[in-house]
Amino acid sequence: MYQQNQLAEMRIDRFVRERLTPALERAAVPASIEAWEVPGEPVPFAEAIAGDFRPFSAGQAWGRPWGTVWFRVTGAVPADWDASADEVELLVDLGFTRSQVGFQAEGLVWTPEGRILKALEPYNAYVRLQARPGESFELYLEAAANPDVGSNWTFAPTVMGRVSTAPQDPIYTLRRVDVVHRDREVWELVQDIFTAKGLAVVLPETSPRRAALFAALEAAVTAVDPFDVAATAPRGREALAAVLASPASATAHRVFAVGHAHIDSAWLWPVRETIRKCARTFSNVLDLMDQDPQFVFACSSAQQFAWMKQFYPELFERIRARVAEGRFVPVGGMWVESDTNMPGSEAMARQFVEGKRFFLEEFGYEPREVWLPDSFGYSGALPQIAREAGMDHFLTQKISWNEVNLFPHHTFAWEGIDGSRIFTHFPPVDTYNAILSGEELARAERNFADKGRANTSLVPFGFGDGGGGPTREMLAAAARTADLEGSPSVRIASPAAFFEAARAEFDPAPVWVGELYLEFHRGTYTSQARTKRGNRRSEALLHEAELWATTAAVRAGAAYPEQELRDAWRTVLLQQFHDILPGSSIGWVHDQAVENYARVAESLEAIIARSLGALSGAAAGQVTSGLVANASPFAIEGVPAGGIGRPRRDGEARIERDGGGIRLSNGRVSVVVDADGLIASLVDAETGREAVPPGTRANILQLFRDTPAQWDAWDVDIEYRLSGEELPGAESVEVVSESPEAVAVRTVRRFGASAVTQTLTLAAGSPALDIETHVDWHERQRMLKLAFPVDVHTASARSEIQFGHIERPTHTNTSWDVARFETSAHRWVHVGEPGFGVGVANDSTYGHDVTRHPRDGGGTYSLVRQTLLRAPLFPDPEADQGEHTLRTSLVIGGVDAAIEAGYRLNLPVRPAAAPVDPLIASSDPGVVVETVKLAEDGSGDVVVRLYESLGARGATTLAAAFPYERILRTDLLERETGDGALDLQLRPFELVTLRFVRG
């Protein structure tokens, strides 16, 4: 029987390939073609149609990498065709390869009036002409010569990632532009066979249903005359009708199929190409909606809708109409499908604020589903942030990529660090680019981990990553599997409909507590350090700009720069997309990201200068007083949090030679730097406790081979630990500052083609040793870490995430612990035991690893390492080459000390001209004021966002030093949820937003 079925498969496949596929076209005639190559970047339609079009023909080469060619296509439907209007199409082959949709040439079809019809994709290359025999037509094809940077995922270095390095010769050949008489009945037969055979091959060999399907398929092949397919195709369909009409069982798995196109906002193409990809995909979707009234499409990322409004307003209005019908469904509620590990607290909140605000303003619609199928792990703070933004549900698929551990649920309640829960689903189909094949549907049913209590899953279908979206073939598959014996039952629906059904059958669901760590793509915490530094610096400047602009508006009546701030936020939020901030895009993307961050910094620095000037009555930038502005939520050197004052330092810093080393001290900390430029001792002056374990030294630079098995910029494999080497002793160790205000030592090291200069500074009165590491980096496929052994015995480390921190094991008791060998943190990590601990803060580093090691004399010590730099070759062979400056602070104390050090390092004081009291202050230092801003609605109300930072019950009394009428508690979108107050009781890690109504 097995051999018979195998032969039947071969026979059916060959029949489809050699007989049915050619018969899909009853007739075809070539159209007339003219072409104009855009000399530089893409141009709008109105400019393109005025181009110098020259005769062109099929078989000619076109398109330099990243270039655009416009084709003008004219022709007529032959008068002798017996064809209805919906059977006549223009079929175009731009030179498509068998590679993935969205990773190669693409096209967009326009009418002469400037209306977009649809896109041209490798498996969606038709345009309905709606012309009758004898009628003529004229169309414009905007063809994008996007190179296949992925190159079938060999991860080889490529020159295609920048226009400046890409070759200039054409990379595609136009194969055909033909007017086609489509045979609808043959096409329907092909879809019947796709579904019947797709189901048959996934059923057990001994299944009667499988046997019946193969019998029907063989009967269909026999019924169709291979020499007259058009006339006999109906007989083939009749042979399959009975098996395709047999209904699904009552216990069949239920699939909610959601039309989808995961379009990466940048990746192996630049942002400008994503804008065109969105237009192409969305026009495909609208064309399908015209053909199938049951089709529903879900689209995340407000940014992509905003691009359509800006660049394709006519298309956007058509989208708006379908949104109103409930068929083009905004989901996600975020500005982009962002990374969630690295964006800061307020930035993660603003993803929802900006995203939902756009959807509400443009469509009057509020999504309730967080939609992040492809981000690289999910912060334990996300459930609370999402719930505070009015989200009820969460969807991702990426955790199915885990290298080691299989996640135990597909539908569950995800609990965050504060105890907030959000109803969550992982599609067991294990893809967000499904085509609704029999194999995919069977996989969804087979994988579903919650059988017995639940029986419903979601399948996102449509070509994605590079866009394209659903096709008419996918809709045909959905229709045939709506109620089909042996198959899950398929219903095309919205995400909201799915979650309603899933909740009804599985509430309460099992609970997963803490972060959703992806056991994969751990290198994204480090790759493209300039992008990461730009993000961190932009977040800090936005915090400062909003604080000082709000203070200036309230105290001095200054105009609040709402639009400038919003523009800056949207740029930063876009670049937190999960292939930009993680460093996994082509070099072009990261070059632009660095330029964008520079523009953001220029804009925000101007806002800050104007605001501080308004507060002092001086001209912007005029500073002569010795005062400083402190935007940190903690007092710094006597200057209050959020205020302006004169700094004062207790005591003085001292430096002395100590044998072969140099001792730095200030009455709070004593540090010995040895002859190799390493930290031989770090002592807390108050307790006399030594932080450096016996027999070790800290501030050790370590170099590792970094050659992951796949996904270069994305991955760090645990095998890197087998190849590490400590960098040689310092070339020089010299004292560079001996003032009472601060003492400093500078060290220089050279290795390979690179050099590192470190400056270790201890300021008077400071509890922290600051380390500035300047790297001139010219290594390839290497990873640089900075290591700090800490003499504490602990089984866990704490790492800052949004609005709190997470505790992760440092042991390797379970496979889950082993797999978590590289982790992300925001501004600090901390290791401690009762009564003593050390925080390691940073100003732009996200990747860390924390491990336990045997200690001389007994017990264990903790090793905290920052991952400073990588040098992957794909997709950007020049990743991170050049100069970098990274800052680290070592602080002895509890988690509270680490929190304060992290803020101080990232929000340094700046000169100011007049003293200013803070607008808002918290009596409990554990309750941190994260954001002070004016309300989004332009009312002038002051919005304050704060959180409990220590993971303990918190009680604080706020002091608001400005007049107001009342206080409201709100959600992240600043909508009232209850009465607010100055006296607050907070649960561990609770996030609170207060609105001070000023009248």
Q: Known catalytic residues?
A: 374
Helix axes 271-291, 302-311, angle to 10 degrees: 90
Nearest of 90, 76, 98 to residue 118 by alpha carbon = 90
**Dist CA 80 CA 436 (whole Å):** 38
Edge-to-edge order in the sheet of strand 725-726: 725-726, 700-705, 782-790, 860-870, 847-854, 823-824
**Dist CA 615 CA 643 (whole Å):** 11
**Dist CA 429 CA 448 (whole Å):** 8
Helix axes 184-200, 208-223, angle to 10 degrees: 150
Three-state DSSP class for residue 492:
strand
- 441-to-246, 252, 457 alpha-carbon distances in Å: 17, 11, 10
- 703-to-728, 914, 975 alpha-carbon distances in Å: 10, 48, 50
Nearest of 653, 650, 651, 649 to residue 739 by alpha carbon = 653
**Dist CA 352 CA 892 (whole Å):** 36
**Dist CA 439 CA 431 (whole Å):** 12
Token reading at 105: 């040439």
Three-state DSSP class for residue 339:
coil
Q: Side chain identity at 849, as an amino acid letter? A: D
Number of H helices, E strands in the chain: 19, 52
Token reading at 611: 């605001």
Centroid of chain to Cα 638:
40
Q: Which helix (H) or strand (E) holds 23?
A: helix 21-23
Residues 6 or more apart whose CB falls under 8 angstroms from that of 154 comprise none
**Dist CA 653 CA 18 (whole Å):** 85
**Dist CA 900 CA 636 (whole Å):** 9
CB burial of residue 891 (10 Å; 0-12, 13-18, 19+): buried
Backbone angles phi, psi at 725, to 5 degrees: -140, 140
Nearest of 519, 510, 996 to residue 716 by alpha carbon = 519
CB atoms within 10 A of CB 957: 13
Three-state DSSP class for residue 98:
coil
Please list the residues that pair with 459 across neighbouring strands. 257
**Dist CA 190 CA 922 (whole Å):** 69
Q: Side chain identity at 92, as an amino acid letter? A: V
Which stretches of 216-335 are assigned E, i.e. beta strand?
254-259, 297-299, 328-330
Three-state DSSP class for residue 726:
strand
CB burial of residue 964 (10 Å; 0-12, 13-18, 19+): middle
